Structure 1
């Protein structure tokens, strides 16, 4: 699979490393256009412009959203040779891609950072995409983790917000859990290790269990016990659920504002 990548920052770089490690693409078949060379896998071609000849199987857009128009002016003619263009730019939808890059079928993805270890989530939205394009996108994204297609734009937006921002919120939760352990008298290193391993083990258990996370929480909490008393704090007036809903809504609202800026 021959790839052209326009921009290869943290997220695109994480995806690229996983693609090469999994064997879905070869380093020598990847051409990256960046403003400056980055630390990418050996064999990947880095340049300031796209190749003069040939055509890729897929083009990946990994620049900052505010660079979309600049990139389109510079590269749209060459990108027209591709059959599919995949964007991971927040606030950029398929219609914007179709307008700025006529020719290739537009696909919008929202990956999250654990794609680098094959444990990520990739939400995909591509209205009216062909079966051939869908198969190519599926083949490329499969090594990254869970791949979910959403026909409904609102569902894609919600899934992207949940998966894309979720790791940062979970990192913050781990940090807060560790800080709470310190306040209870644990040494910093001990609190950090216990919090990290507790979250990691619980997540793996939940992923492998047929019961829902809510059922697992109740199973751990004996009536009148320590865990139940703690859950009572989180469950009172749906405190935790309300907080996370507000958190995701803030992320979604920012995404909509960015999309409006792109259209305007």
Structure 2
């Protein structure tokens, strides 16, 4: 597929990096950005909106900019074009209304691990042919895994878990190190221990034949040190309740952004 990346921010550039890492020909990618910007080797950067249609157009700008930018993008959109939106909170109705000439519309929500080919990529679509759906699946699989949702009902919630999730994990690592420091560990040591522990634990969870819950119980022997710490997290489902509140607040923000895009707020 010939792909136009419209807006070369952090997420869009990470996706390009992931596609190239997976073997995509960089000559297939055109990156538009209003100002000069460093792009991956072999990728063409332009500061002028291309006057031709593309197989796929990736929307890589801020969600609130859609209304201003969509009109100037129309020369890039044709009946064969699939619009890929990574714009948080914007529903398919909004994307389709902005690009009515497109042949299909996809909400595509990755996280920054796309650069390493390790992101679960949420997908919901409208108007795709079987071939286009296969193409989109292939693009998502090159960045980690394609996770098709049946509809948009839970897209914001899934985005909160998968798309926003890395930030929550990073905050946990930081907090774990901070806790170690408050109890007496030197900062550098505490930082290394927290990060290295999480890296190893995640790698093991990805390869183990056990669920994360089962792994936790295998680590925590009855009456031992680990179990004592887990009792703090498990008491009255304290950790689970905290994370429910966290995901709900994140998903609700997505709904709020969607309402604003529809002019309801």
For normalisation by structure 2, the TM-score amounts to 0.95
Taking the aligned partners of 1:128 and 1:83, their CA distance within structure 2 comes to 11
The answer to whether the Cα contact below 8 Å between 1:4 and 1:60 also exists between their aligned partners in 2 is: yes
Preserved contact between residue 58 and residue 84 of structure 2 (Cα < 8 Å): yes
1:20 aligns with 2:20: yes
Instruction: Quote the residue 1:86 is aligned against.
Output: 84
CA deviations 1:136-161 (Å, max 9, x no partner) are 11121212112100013123222111
Separation in 2, partners of 1:151, 1:94: 13
Identify the residue that residue 33 of structure 2 maps to in structure 1.
34
Structure 1 residue matching 2:164: 3-state secondary structure: helix
Alignment-derived partner of residue 8 in structure 1: 8
Q: Is the 8 A contact 1:76 1:102 kept in 2?
A: no
Q: Spell out the pairing of 1:1-264 with structure 2 (5 A cutoff).
A: 1-24=1-24, 26-53=25-52, 55-80=53-78, 82-104=80-102, 105-264=104-263
**Secondary structure at 2:4 match in 1:** strand
Deviation at 1:81, TM superposition (A): 5.3
> How much has 1:184 moved relative to structure 2?
2.4
Q: Deviations over 1:229-255 (max 9, x none)?
A: 100100011110110110011111111
Count the aligned residue pairs: 262
Are the aligned partners of 2:181 and 2:190 in contact in 1 as well (CA < 8 Å)? yes
CA distance in 1, matches of 2:58, 2:177: 38
CA spacing shift, 1:29–1:75, aligned 2, 3 Å: same
Q: Is the CA contact (8 Å cut-off) linking 2:83 and 2:105 kept in structure 1?
A: yes
The 3-state SS of whatever aligns with 1:126 is: strand
Q: CA deviation at 1:49?
A: 2.7
Does the 8 Å contact 2:92/2:125 carry over to 1?
yes
So what's the TM-score if we normalise by structure 1?
Answer: 0.95
Could you give the per-residue CA deviations for residues 157-206 of structure 1, whole angstroms, max 9, x where no partner exists? 22111001110000000001111111222211111111111111111111
* Structure 1 gap segments, 5+ residues each: none
